[in-house]
Amino acid sequence: MDSTGQERGPDQPGAASAHDAGPVVSVRGLVKRYGSQEAVAGIDLDVRRGEIFAFLGPNGAGKTTTVEILEGFRQRSDGEISVLATTRPRRAEPGATGWASSCRNQSPSQACPCANA
């Protein structure tokens, strides 16, 4: 069964082959809370090699938060995550995550100077 819940035979596009036994991304019961606000409420998903997966939903639905948790940029409140057969710790180890900005003029210790331009 693929991530959309459809059965796929070995001759169909998107079907997992024998060497693709497990998912490349596996999420079970992913939860992210900010105080009493639950931004991500118990997501389960598997993404197999070769699949294209998209998050669709309204603003505030938890799409970016989920992706940032998978990338290691945010900590999850609950749930289990495996990416490329490596179980992700709940808390990132020091130096294990990076920082990225879409602004060339910004460093992690300052606000984006372009926002006031």
d(C-alpha 39, C-alpha 91), whole Å = 18
Q: pLDDT digit string (tens) for 39-83? A: 999 999 999 999 999 999 999 999 999 999 998 889 999 999 998
d(C-alpha 70, C-alpha 24), whole Å = 12
d(C-alpha 56, C-alpha 78), whole Å = 22
Question: In which order are the strands placed within the sheet that holds 78-83?
Answer: 37-47, 25-34, 78-83, 86-87
Residue 100 neighbours by CB distance under 10 Å: 8
Q: pLDDT digit string (tens) for 97-110? A: 444 445 555 455 55
Domains of the chain: 25-116 (3.40.50.300)
What pLDDT is recorded for position 45?
Answer: 93
The predicted model scores a pTM of 0.60
